[in-house]
Amino acid sequence: MILPVFLLLVGLLVMWQPRTKRWQSRLRAHLGSDERRMKQRANTFFLLGFAFVLAGLALLYKVTMS
């Protein structure tokens, strides 16, 4: 029962991370001023977090229905 909740929380954290100033400043230092690549990296993190959220919801559904 703890795994689905953990996946939901981690998914939300990964989705929220690219919006933080610290993450943006580190990425700007790593990629320079390439806004396209920064946006692409942020979208990748969002999709990864969304996949974690969906996996957590699926496991939560499976646990509650069985």
Q: What is the pLDDT of residue 57?
A: 97
Instruction: Determine the 3-state secondary structure of 20 from DSSP.
Output: coil
What's the domain count of the chain?
1
Owning domain of residue 44: 1-65
Q: What is the pLDDT of residue 34?
A: 86
Cβ neighbours of 28 (radius 10 Å)? 13
Q: What is the pLDDT of residue 53?
A: 98
| Per-residue pLDDT reduced to its tens digit, 3-59 | 999 999 999 999 999 889 998 898 888 888 888 998 999 999 999 999 999 999 999
DSSP H helices, 1-66, are 2-16, 21-31, 35-65
Task: Report which of residues 41 and 66 the model is more confident about.
Answer: 41
Average pLDDT (58-62) is: 95
Dihedral in degrees, nearest 10, Cα atoms 37, 9, 53, 1: 150
